[in-house]
Structure 1
Amino acid sequence: MEKSFEPDDFPVPAIAFVIHAGRGETTDVRIVDRVPDDVPAQDIGFHPKYGADFWTVEDDEIVFEREFEAGEEYTTVYGLRAKDTEDVSRFLTDPAIEGVEGEETVSDIIGDESEADADGAAEDEGADGTADTSIHLDDPTGADLGGDEASDEEAAGSDPAEASADDLESAIADIDGTEADEESVAPEPNEPADGSEPTAAVRTATDGAAAHDAGGAVTPADLAAALAAEVRAGEVADEDLDTLRDALGAADDDSEENVPGHVEAKLDKLQADVDEVVAYTGALESFLDDAGTADDLLAMREEFDDLLDSLDDVEGSVAGMEDRLDEVAAATDSLEGSVEELRADLAELEDGLGENLDDRVTDLEDELDEMDEDIQTLENLRQALAGD
C-alpha cells in the first residue's frame, strides 16, 4: 500500500491510497488512519468515484473496508480543506492495516499448533537428526535455524542466505520502513506448550528458501514483520493461517454480533436519515407535480408582481373617478337648486301674466265695442250725406 499527498490530481487536495492485493484469492482489507486532533471530522471528505462508500468515520479515526479480488489494485482518496494543507505531514502518518480477511492481528498470521506441526514444521536434520524445530514467538533467538528443505540444504553445507536476504529485507522495509538485521528466521527447539506436543512452527519462506545470518539476533519485531510480509504477499497457505489463528485463540470477528455498539448506533442513525430523505423526496416530488418547478414559481411570481402593479394603477384611476363623481354630484345638487328657483319664478310669472292678459283682453273688447259704435255712427252719417 502506498500513501501520498496529491494536491493537483483530484478536484481538491487529497490523501491518496494505492492498494494492491498480492494474494491469490479474494481478500477483505480494513485500513485505519488517524485524523490529527485539531482537524474536525467534517473537514474530511470522500470522493464518490474513489471509494467514498467504503469509508467510515469513527471518532478521530477514518476506516476503509473493502473486498479485493486476487491481484486487484485500487486507488481511494479523502479530500482536505485548503487550510489543512499548510502542514500536510500531519496526515502522512502510517495507517494501520487492521484487517486482512476480517481483522489482521497477530492471530491472522499465527494459528493452531497441531496443524502447523503437521503442515509446516520439519525436523532439523542438520542439528542431530531428531530435534523438534518448533519455537515460541517470545524467544526467537535461541538455536540454529531449520524447518524446511532450505534449512536442510543449509545444514548440508549450501548457503542460500544471500539469495533470500534482499527479498526479506524488502518485505520488512515495506511494512515498517526499516531494514532487517536477519535475512530469514526459522524455528528453534523448545519445550512443548502443554508438555505433550510442540508449539506451532513458524516458517519465513522467501522464494521457497530460508536463511539465517549467524552473526545477528532475530528480534520479535523482525519476526512479526516478516510473518506479516509473507501473509500479505500470499505466500502462506490457508491451512497454515488457520493453524496460526487457532494457536492464538483468535475468534472470527466478522459476525454481526461482534459489531461495536457505536457502529450499530451510527448505522441506525444513517438508516433513519435515509428514511427521512426518502420521505422528504416523495413529498417534494408531489409538490413539484402540483406546483411546478422553481422556474415555474419564479415566472408565476413575476406575473403576480405585474398584476399587483396593474391593480395599483386601477386603484389610482378609481380614486380619480371617485373625486370627479363627487364634483359632479355637488354640481348636480347646485343645478337642482337653480331649477327649483326657476320653477318658482316661472310660476309667479305665469300668475302675473294671466291676470294682466285678462285685464287687457277686457280692455280690448271694450275698445272694439266703442269702435263698432263709431263705425256705425260714421255709416249713418255717410248715408245721410248721400241722401241729400
Structure 2
Amino acid sequence: MSDTDTPSEVAVASDGITVRKATATDEFPVPAVTFDFVSERDDAAVVRLVDAAPDDVALDDIGFNPDYGGDHWSIEDGYAVFERRLAPGEEYQTVYGVRNADLDPDQFVIDPVLDVTSVGTPDADDDTEPSEKAETVTTTGANSVGAALAAELRNDDLSAADRKLLAEEFGRQDSEAVRLSHLQSRISDIEAYSDALEAFIDDHGTGHEAIEDLSDRLDTIESEIDDLADRTDENTTEIETVAERTEANATEIESVADRTDENASDIDDTDERLDETATEIDDLAARTDENASDIDALDKGVADVQAEIEETQAWIDDLREDVEEIDAWRGRISNVFGEGSMTEEESSD
C-alpha cells in the first residue's frame, strides 16, 4: 500500500474492487499521484480507471513509470486511463508523475471513474488474456465517453434535463458507447492516415510527381547498374591477367626452387672442402708449432756459435796485437844490433 505524504486522498469502489487515490510529493523523483487497488473478489476482473487531471495541468506533463504499471496507462480523449487484470484478492499499486508543476494535493482530490469487468474463471491451463474470452465477459462499466459524462455529473456540469435523459437512456448506453468508441477509433486512424499522406505529399509531391521522381531514380539506378556491370567486366579481365601472371610466377618459383636445390648441393660440397681445409690448417698449425720450437733451438745454437765466434775474434785481435808488439820489438832489436846481425840470425834460423 502507498505511504502518501499528505492526508489528501479519495476512494472509489465497484463490484468488489476498491481503489484509493492519493498524492505523494517526496516519495518519487517528481510529484506523483498514486492509485492502490484492492480486490475482494473471488474471481479475476479487469479494472478500467479513468482519471481527469486539473485544468492547469497539461496531459503532456503526465508521465507513467514502467516500474509502477506504466505499460497499462494511456491517454484517451483528454483523460488518463489505466486498464489491467486483477487476480482474486490481489493488491496492486500504480503511479503517474506530474512534471513542470507544483503539485497541490487539493487539485487532485477528484474521484476517478472505476469500471470493473468480470472475466470469469478460466481453465487451469488456460492463460488467455481477458480480451480473448469475449464470450465470458460481462461489462458493468462505461467507456471513455461515459467516464467523461460521469465526471461532468460529479462536477454538476449537467442540467437536470440532461441528467434525466441520461438516466432514461442508460440502458442503451453500453452498445451505443461501443459503436461511438469504434467510430472514434476509425476517425483517429483516418486522421493519422491523412497526416501521413500530407507529410508524404509535402516531401514527395503528388502521386504523378512521385511516380516521375521514382522513374528518374529508376533510370539513375539502371545507369549505375550498367556502370557496375562495365566495371565488373574490367575487373574480370584484370583478374584473368593477374591469374596468368600468378601462373607464370608459380613456374618461375619452381625454377628457382630447382636452382636452389642445385645450389644447396654445391654448398654441401663446399662445406666438405671447407672441413678438409680446416683439417689441413690445423695440421699446418701443429707443424708450425713444432718448427717454431726447432727454430727457437736453432736460434739458440746460432747465438752460442756467434758468441764463440766473437770470443775467437777477440782472441785473434789480442794475438794480432801481440804479434804487432813482437814485430815492433824485433824492429827495435834490429836497430840496436844492426841490420847485418839480424841478417845472420835470420840466416841461422
Q: Please indicate the TM-score interval, normalised by the length of the shorter structure.
A: 0.3 to 0.5
Query: TM-score, with normalisation over the residues of structure 1?
Result: 0.29
Q: Higher strand share goes to which structure? A: 2
Q: Which structure has the highest helix share of the two?
A: 2
Higher relative contact order, chain-length normalized (CA < 8 Å, sep 6+): 1
Largest Rg, 1 or 2: 2
